[in-house]
Amino acid sequence: MKKLLSPIAIVLSLLLAVPAAGAPSDLPEQHPYYDEINYLMEKGILTGYSDGTVRPDTKVTRAEVALMIGRLKEFDGTKRTTGFRDVPAEHFASGYIVDVVKAGYISGYPDGTYRPGEPINRRETAITIDRVFDLNFIFHFEYRDVPDGVYYYDAVHRLAAASISIGYPDNTFRPELEVSRGEFSAMLARALEPKFKNDAAIEHSYQRDKTKTYTYRQEDGRIAVDRFVLVPPIDGKEDEFIWETRIGEEVYSELEYENYESFAIGYPYSEYGVQLVYPIQVGKEFVYGYALEPIIYTITGVNKTVETEYKTFTNAVEVTTHEGGKYYMVEGFAVVKWIKGDGTIYTELLDVK
């Protein structure tokens, strides 16, 4: 993607060059990014400092970002001339800066600088991660502070679709907010590993656990098996994680989209359907999907008891469809049962493993 070294920068370069021995002394198990940081350290993508710290809450710099991405991509990283007047060859990240800029992941500035010591913000992080992982899918969450047409608009929304970052409860993304080493590590880990994507969720999320397999019985008696797997895209981009449904020899793909306003099921490269809106209130109506005539669904119950072949749930939200059918959604399980208007069961949760 896209000044001479001060004494502080020289010291920092020496510290970054030496991995910390053992667990970082400043990373308690209670830290919100404890698992993600340890995951990246085990993979050699993130290293600590010679004093035994990893400094998870310190702002991550453009040099450190180049270092982490370079290690992730297994670039050479040998120190060398960069072409940037503020990154001499002896800079600790000079080789990786050359590599990531050449790869198009990070850019320099028009004045011929790279500004290696500057913190990176959420806007720049979104663009960088989008480029590094060549994200395929997009869902427009309509953040209040990310207007249509800004150059980072698609990148921000692709991070949301990929369960890497969903923004804040006030429906903002806060693009200018500087990112810590821990936050950047969390986003990288979520892009790499499904179990960390589970953390990119609202409180009381209705999304399913991306590390588990969900089995359903269909109305014709066939069995559908849903897994969150890495699949090749159809447009030549990088492989990406997606929910894949197998019914016999048939294979279907979908994504779960959720922010602080709604939960939706998206069909890659196609349309999506809203299945629930927040806050949940009985009587609230919402538009299910796009059509010439709006399709209106209504929340008709909360804390409903619903029996499935998997188990009996007592905390289901009941939604009535425009055709008179009903489906039931449960936190952590999405739709557990769908009953058509004529009383037949369209789909029902059978097992979770």
Consecutive H or E run containing 62: helix 62-72
Same domain as 182, residue 89: yes
In a domain, 257, yes or no: yes
**Has residue 152 been placed in a domain?**
no
Residues 190 and 244 in one domain: no
pLDDT of residue 5: 39
pLDDT per residue as tens digits for the range 308-343: 999 999 999 999 999 999 999 999 999 999 999 999
4 or 80, greater pLDDT: 80
* Torsion angle (degrees, nearest 10) of CA 229, 235, 236, 242: -10
Tokens of 228: 């969150």
Residue numbers of the domain that contains 240: 214-352
pLDDT recorded at residue 225: 98
* CB-count exposure of residue 227 (10 Å: 0-12, 13-18, 19+): middle
Question: In this structure, is residue 315 part of a structural domain?
Answer: yes
The tens digit of pLDDT for each residue in 207-259 reads 999 999 999 999 999 999 999 999 887 666 778 899 999 999 999 999 999 99
Q: Which of 167, 197, 227 is the last residue of a domain?
A: 197
Residues 219 and 306 both lie in one domain: yes
Residues 220 and 187 in one domain: no
Q: Are 236 and 180 in contact (CB under 8 A)?
A: no
Q: Which two tokens stand for residue 48?
A: 């600590």
For 43-68, what is each residue's pLDDT tens digit? Answer: 999 999 989 999 999 999 999 999 99
Does 16 have pLDDT greater than 70? no
Whether 31 maps to a domain, the answer reads yes
pLDDT of residue 300: 98
For 66-119, how does the pLDDT look when each residue is reduced to its tens digit (9 = 90+)?
999 999 999 999 999 999 999 999 999 999 999 999 999 999 999 999 999 999
Encoded tokens for 147: 């207007």
Residue of higher predicted confidence among 3 and 295 = 295
Supply the pLDDT for residue 12.
41
pLDDT more than 70, % of the chain? 92
Q: Residue 23 has what pLDDT?
A: 77
Which of 347, 59, 87 lies closest to 218, judged by CA? 347
> Which of 165, 197, 229 lies at the terminal end of a domain, its last residue?
197
Q: Could you tell me how many helices (H) and strands (E) the chain has, helices first?
A: 8, 12
Position 136 scores a pLDDT of 87
Beta strand 312-320 pairing with 345-352: unpaired
Mean pLDDT of the chain, nearest integer: 91
pTM of the model: 0.87
Question: Mean pLDDT across the stretch 119-145?
Answer: 93
pLDDT in tens, 142-188: 899 999 999 999 999 999 999 999 899 999 999 999 999 999 999 99
d(CA 46, CA 65): 10
Shared domain for 245 and 330, answered yes or no, is yes
**Are 224 and 282 within one domain?**
yes
* Rounded Cα distance, 19 and 51, in Å: 9
| Tens digits of residue pLDDT in 263-307 | 999 887 667 899 999 999 999 999 997 666 789 999 999 999 999
- Is 172 within the bounds of a domain? no
What's the pLDDT at 127?
98
Residues 255 and 193 in one domain: no
**Count of domains in the chain?**
2
Domain boundary among 197, 230, 262: 197
Res 291: pLDDT: 62
Q: Is there a single domain that holds both residue 250 and residue 285?
A: yes
22: tokens are 């053992």
CB 352 within 8 A of CB 213: yes
